[in-house]
Every structure is written in structure tokens, then in C-alpha cells.
Chains A and B, each alone.
Chain A
């Protein structure tokens, strides 16, 4: 049993800097939870509190059924993979992997068996006699994973483990970690600032900002139903487009006014009524906007980013910058005028002041 439970956990540094505020989550046994957010949002601090490397300033932290607030790291049955791998530079790969087991007085034969077993699994058997400086980034990353795996911990904590790797290696290591999670019986808590990693790896994602949890949900729900503008902008690449609009109503129903153009929407009256004739924010993802000669929304091409199969058009739409995903074969010139239509079934509306969602 390795469920993790954080109840109103806070972290205050030096009595004044609040790094994490009132963080609560129940992480189920064998779940893969990803903490995501921009730099300084407190995600690593949460991970370090779970690891026991930072004291919990307030709240309760449970691993299994044990309250672990005051327990040292070695008594928490956890393993952690660090961003810079933190391999002992003076030890061989074998020694790096066996160190934790030696500390726990595991018999030598058992250590040898486990190290070789994990090394084989990670395809690092031929590196066992090497020292970290004689290895590439990807190999070091595997060793760091191996060091954690060899102990067969109840909880795996991973602190931006792929951020030092190149893009190609990152993708392959991503799937390695997913496979590792499926194989192991451990609960995974993974910290990253890369939303692609979060979306592809996590069973659930925790989006954080300034030490406060914004939303905890599945990747799909976060993408489709963001609770505020920050989550909507953070999840999805390229990010969601935001346009200031005014909510109006006529005999046919509600519509959004963008400059001199009206965009008809079909959302419940009870939700929209309080915002009638007020400025709100329209959110729409790049694939929800289509170039259409019949369209009434006008924009001008600023930059076209061809990616082969698709092209991202950076447009100026009534003074606002928006990105539209179009077919890769389509040709667009800089300064070219484009008529657009919005797929109103995929729009999100946000309050202007609080930036919380009005409806999806």
C-alpha cells in the first residue's frame, strides 16, 4: 500500500516566503501523478516535502497509513530521481546502484542479483564498471533510474528527470518511464515544467501556480475543461488563444462581439446571464479556428511556421495575437489577409477579472 495523502500542506521558508499553500491531494496506490507548473510554482517543494528533504510547515502528509511529517527520508520507503541525476561521481555504476541496499544491510548476493536484474532491464549491464563521468546524459539518466528501481520502493519521486536530455532522448526516456511505471508496483510522483511530459505520462495532473493548486484532473479533462485561463494557457501546444469579447444577446440568443463581428454561441442562459453586456475572455485552441473564405473574422498573417504535416499561422486578429493550425500543404504569405471561422462548440469563456471559467 503506497497511497499518498497530503492534507492542507503548506511550506513557508524563513517564516515569510510561502512556497506552497494549502495543498491537498489523495494519490492512489500505483497512480502516476504529475506536478506541473512554471518555474517557482512550488512543485519541486511539494516533491521534496514528500521525500522528507523539506519540513512540512503546516498540514499532514501520509504515505500509506503512516503520518510521515517528522520521519527522516530513509524511513519513508521512497526513491527519488534528481534533475541532475545526483550520481556519486567517485563510485562505479554498480556501486551507485548498490549503495542504498548496502546501507540497508541487504546480503551481498541479494544486492548483486538485484543490481544485475535492474541493469539488464535498463540495458546498462555493460556500464556497471564505469564511473558517471564516462557516460552520456542518457546513460546517466538510466543509471539514476536504476539506482531508484533497485530498492523497489513504495513511492518513486522524479524531479524533472528528463530536462537535461536532448529532445529525441527525452521522448524515448518518456516512454521508458511509462513502461517502468506499468511494470512496477510503485506510486509515481513526477515533477516537470513541460506540459507535453505531463500530458503524456500522468494518470492525473496537478497544475500549480505561485504555490497554489489550480486544478487536479486527468490530462484529457484538463485540456477540455480547464478551470481558469492559466490552466487553459498552460495545457496544450500551441497554447489556447484568448480574445477579449463582449457578451450580447438578441432574439436568437447570445452572441460574442469581437470588434464589429458577432459570434453566435449556444450556452445555457443561467450561466451566461450574469455576464450580459460585460467584457469577458473568449478562449479557443488553435485547431478550433479554420481559415474559411466565407468567414467574417478577419486576420493578417505575421509568421507561418511550417512543421511538415501542419503549419502554425501566427496571426494578428484585431490587434490580438492568435495561432491557427492549418494543413501543412497550404501556402500563406506574410501580411496576407485571412478570413476565419471559429468552431463554437470548442470555445471556453473566462471572467475578465478573476480569469476563472464561465463555461466550456
Chain B
């Protein structure tokens, strides 16, 4: 007797669609509302912002979630991009913090992973185990030691106090090591017989085959640091150095329209990176990439 399916395919698709819509809603709302005029936004979200000042008025009015603007306007973008240099400055702050972290972290992780992959020394297992333990610790645990080290080295309040700790990440090393272990040993041996130096084996044989893992790590690190809040708040006292992620929360009630526009602009780099490397990202994380010789 054929067992009846518990849920039909159509039902599952419907449930998945409902979840997808629920998760997409804030993003869609942010994007569409960034094209609304300030007046329309105040009319829709006045309740929230008035409640921040006067809690008694909160219950009396309702928030009107509106996806389609009555009138499409680019005025918020015009203000953000051309009339408020502050936002662009913060965007640039984010870029100069995150790009070096991504580049250095991927580079350092690749070198560390390669040594785990190639060398079978006595302490290899112990060190790798140590990496895994470190990986399990949340960043917040390291924040105080990071602060103390930054202060001791005199890097406090400089961008390096964020960039340097960001260069070293056990998770990236772990992921890359696992990925590299999938490279057939015969390929490394063939390269050795072909007269390649260790550096050439690393750069010409090993790294090209880890492209998907490198790309996925780069995307994950980018998104992680693009959204950072704690590090700048703890390690930077000069607010002019704050990245956009911290600055977003300081936007006040009167600029709610700008907030939507800034948030949309803020999403673009992560989104572009993801769309460009979606295939690599999935392959890199699931370790399904074929590196068969």
C-alpha cells in the first residue's frame, strides 16, 4: 500500500511562500517606503514616532503599513546623496573598515588553513581543536580583551583597533581547512613532481580550487562587519569615525524618510555581493563543490 503523503507539495509551497513573504516584508517595506514623501511617511508612521515622545498618544492611533507610495519621489535619495554629506561619510567609514578586514581575513585564513591542510605536525590536532573552541565563543566575549589590548598598544580610537582583531577569525580558518581537505592529495603530489614550490602549490593549485569557499567567506565576513555595532561603540570614541551601521540608529524621528533611503543604500553592497556570488556561497558553505581530479 502506498503511504499517503502527510502534506501535499502544493500545501508545502503555500507554507513556504507565507514564510518567504513574512521575511521579505521588512525589506520590501524599506525599499518602497524610501520612495515616499516625508508627509506620506508621517501620516503612515506618525503613531510610532509620536509614541517615542508621548506614550499616551500611542494607543490612540494606528500604524498604517503601506507598500505602494501615493506618489513616487526621489527626494529622500536626493537629500541623502547630495545634501547630507554626513551619510556618505559614514558609508565611506564602513567601506574603509570592512574592505581591509575582508581582504586580510580571507588572506590570513587561507594561509592558516593551508598549513592545517598540508602539515601533519604533533600539535596540529591540538591547535585545530583550539580554533574550534575559539570559534564557539561569541564576539562579545572577546570585546573586553580586545579593548584592553587596543588600549595597551595605543590603537584605541583608531580604525586599526577594529581592523586588526577582524583579520583573524577561527571560523574562516575552520571552513577553509575543511574545504581544502577535499582537494585530492594526488593533485598536490603532481604539483610537487611538476617542480612547484610550496608557494606555487598554494597559489596555483590550492587556492583556485577553493574559490567558492573563499568567496563565501568573503561574503559572510563582509555582511558580518558591514552590520557591526558593538566594536565601533566600544573601541572608537570619535563619532566621526563611526560606520553607517552605528549611525543608522541615531537617525531621529523627523528624518524617517531619510532612514528608509539610507537603509536601502546600506543594503546594496551586501545584496550585490550576494547576487554576484550566490552560486559560490551555496557551494562553499555546503562543501558540495567538486574538486575531483
Contacts and interface: CB of A to CB of B under 8 A. Distances in A.
A262 B204 CA distance: 70
B268 interface: no
B85 to A, nearest CB: 45
Contacts of A88: 187, 190-191, 205, 293
A82 B186 contact: yes
A241 to B, nearest CB: 39
Contacts of B208: 90-91
Interface in B131-157: none
A88 B190 CA distance: 9
Interface in A26-80: 51-53, 72-74, 78-80
B195 interface: yes
Nearest to A157: B193
Interface residues of A, number: 27
A99 B189 contact: no
Interface residues of B, number: 22
B270 interface: no
Contact of B189 (A85, A86, A89, A132): A86
B5 interface: no
A92 B194 CA distance: 16
A104 interface: yes
B204 A99 contact: yes
A90 B209 contact: yes
Interface string B23-66: 00000000000000000000000000000000000000000000
Contacts of B184: 84, 86
A84 B191 CA distance: 14
A87 interface: yes
Contacts of B189: 51, 53, 73, 80, 82, 86
B190 A89 contact: no
Given A82-B186, A99-B191, A89 B293 contact: yes
Interface in B156-200: 184, 186-187, 189-197, 200
Q: Which of A51, A88, A147 has the most CB of B within 10 A?
A: A88
B186 A89 contact: no
B contact face: mostly helix, strand, loop, or mixed: helix
B291 interface: yes
B195 A100 contact: yes
A87 B192 contact: no
A354 interface: no
B192 A86 contact: no
A133 B189 CA distance: 20
A183 B288 CA distance: 43
Given A82-B186, A84-B186, A99-B204, A89 B192 contact: no
A294 interface: no
A86 B186 CA distance: 6
Contacts of B186: 82-84, 86
A91 B209 CA distance: 10
A79 B193 contact: yes
Contact of B187 (A51, A52, A86): A86
Contact of B194 (A72, A84, A85, A99): A99
Interface string A104-134: 1000000000000000000000000000110
A100 B195 CA distance: 6
Nearest to B197: A103
Given A84-B184, A103-B200, A53 B209 contact: no
B292 interface: yes
Contacts of A78: 193
Q: Which of A52, A90, A104 has the most CB of B within 10 A?
A: A90
Contacts of A99: 191, 194, 196, 204
Contacts of A52: 192
Contacts of A133: 290
B293 A84 contact: yes
Contacts of A83: 186
Nearest to A99: B194
Given A53-B189, A80-B190, A103-B200, A86 B293 contact: yes
Contact of A82 (B190, B195, B290): B190
Nearest to B291: A89
Contacts of A79: 193
A133 to B, nearest CB: 8
A91 B187 CA distance: 12
B68 to A, nearest CB: 48
Given A86-B189, A88-B205, A103 B293 contact: no
B185 to A, nearest CB: 9
Contact of A103 (B196, B211, B291, B292): B196
Contacts of B195: 74, 100, 103-104
B210 to A, nearest CB: 10
A53 B191 CA distance: 11
A83 B186 CA distance: 9
A240 B201 CA distance: 48
B214 to A, nearest CB: 13
A72 to B, nearest CB: 7
A87 B293 contact: yes
A78 B190 CA distance: 11
6 contacts: A82-B293, A84-B186, A88-B190, A100-B193, A147-B190, A147-B194
Interface of B: 184, 186-187, 189-197, 200, 204-205, 208-209, 211, 290-293
Shortest beta-carbon contacts, A-B, top 3? A100-B194, A86-B186, A74-B195
